[in-house]
Amino acid sequence: MVDFSKMKDLYELQKKARKLQKELKDTEIEATSANGWVTVVFNGEQHMTDIHIAEEALRPENKKDLEKDLKNTVSQAISRAQAHAAEKMKEIAGNLNIPGM
């Protein structure tokens, strides 16, 4: 026998998931290095949408520091995007008893 209430719940969950995906795509998460040389912007889907590098950072003597700033700032932005997405997923999952939510 088909449980139509479960099917309706699944449909509602799919609808909410599609809405969340659009929200994440439209969300911007920005991170800036401590010295201000690097700013990156990611969307909630963890795709980089913008990067800005200060002119002074492009000097040859700043190469190592710039590389470090790029790595740290990108990592920071991705972590923020992941945390944002996880929080939004918790809102959707609600009381569905989905493992890991």
pTM given for the model: 0.75
Query: In order of start, what are the domains of the chain with their CATH numbers?
Result: 28-93 (3.30.1310.10)
Give me the pLDDT at residue 93, please: 74
Where does 3-52 have alpha helices with state H?
Answer: 4-26
Work out the angle at residue 79's Cα, subtended by the Cα atoms of residues 72 and 70, and round it to the nearest 5 degrees. 20
Give the number of other CB atoms < 10 A from CB of residue 30: 15
Give me the pLDDT at residue 1, please: 55
Of the chain, the end-to-end C-alpha distance in Å amounts to: 29
Q: What is the pLDDT of residue 77?
A: 96
pLDDT in tens, the chain (101 residues): 556 777 787 888 788 888 888 888 899 999 999 999 999 999 988 999 999 999 999 999 999 999 999 999 999 999 999 999 888 888 877 755 555 54
Give the per-residue pLDDT at 100.
54
Question: Tokens 């944002």 label which residue?
Answer: 84
